Amino acid sequence: MSLRLAVVTDIHHGPPSATKRGDAAMDGLAAFARFVAAARADLVLDLGDRITDVDAATDRRHLGDVADAFCAVPAPVRHLNGNHDLDHLGPAENGAALGQSMDHALHDAGGWRIVLWRADARIRREGSPGFVLDELDLVWLAAAMQAADRPCLVVSHVPLSGHAQTGNYYFENNPAFAAYPGTARIRAALALARVPVVCLAGHVHWNTITCVDGITHLTQQSLTESFTTGGEPAMAMGIVELAETVRWEVAGADPIAFAFRPDTRRWTPPLPDFRSHAGLRRTPPGDTA
């Protein structure tokens, strides 16, 4: 038994901004609807940042455009909010436009559990800029992991691995905007699961594979990003096939394909700072203490 998911993220419908080709978003969504039909996907995941924010009225209009485009997608869709979706519109307004709740949710199918972790994805720009990890969001995730009785795909907008952003156009010099400040606590919550866990996110606008503590983390390229594709929109559209072997393939101008077998093994905890670890301190010559 397997489950076939089609994935799109960081659509960024709206005006072009930096390397985001928002002018190509609607054509990209029409192509994505055809991609879903050809792939015969069981379920579609939209990982957020459907729009590039401008102001409340413009964002509302662009959100309506995207919601209408998703009506042509021939499979059930589960949406998450990204930071741009929330700059001027709240979770409830996004959910109303898309016809679904934006609360955390679990979806069981094909022997897997899809964990829709819809944590707060707003970016704060005052005080300590970046994301804020809400304690209730973390508690919900920890409880979901402890209760899991089948393999889990944990889906979020913001990546949960805390992986390096070296080379990333947006985040190499802005790492606080690429992860939650409590990422170590999030990884500890994921490790509570006694079943295989895989994580999938968007936000960082590139395809990455990172393994931390035996858990594989994937991030998918944006539909309209161009910093890896010479100025042309990437048109990234993914398929994740969940079975005993997980297969992830992204089509478009920035393709990737990867297969692996998730398991429940966790790693030996990392060493502390070498300078403080007694087992690694050298005894000076002649010192018998």
pLDDT in tens, 146-166: 999 999 999 999 999 999 999
3-state secondary structure of 144: helix
The backbone region for 44, taken as left when phi is positive above 0, alpha when psi lies in -120 to 50, beta otherwise, is: beta
Could you tell me what percent of the chain has a pLDDT over 70?
96
Per-residue confidence band for 280, with pLDDT thresholds at 50, 70 and 90: low
pLDDT in tens, 74-121: 999 999 999 999 999 999 999 999 999 999 999 999 999 999 999 999
pLDDT in tens, 246-269: 999 999 999 999 999 999 999 999
**Separation between Cα atoms, residue 250 and residue 1, nearest integer Å:** 22
Instruction: Indicate the Cα dihedral angle 97, 102, 108, 112, nearest 10°.
Output: 110
Residue 285 CA from chain centroid, whole number: 52
CB-based contact 113:151 (threshold 8 Å): yes
Question: What is 3-266's CATH topology?
Answer: Purple Acid Phosphatase; chain A, domain 2 (3.60.21)
User: In sequence order, which ranges of 182-279 are alpha helices (DSSP H)?
Assistant: 183-190
Asked if pLDDT for residue 227 goes beyond 60, the answer is yes
Tokens 């970046």 found at: 130
CB-based contact 201:155 (threshold 8 Å): yes
Nearest to 86 by CA among 118, 117, 53, 115: 53
CA angle centred on 49, ends 43 and 52, rounded to 5°: 140
> Tell me, what DSSP letter sits at residue 13?
B
Please name the amino acid found at residue 184. Answer: A
Asked if pLDDT for residue 277 goes beyond 80, the answer is no
Asked if pLDDT for residue 194 goes beyond 60, the answer is yes
pTM for the predicted model, two decimal places: 0.94
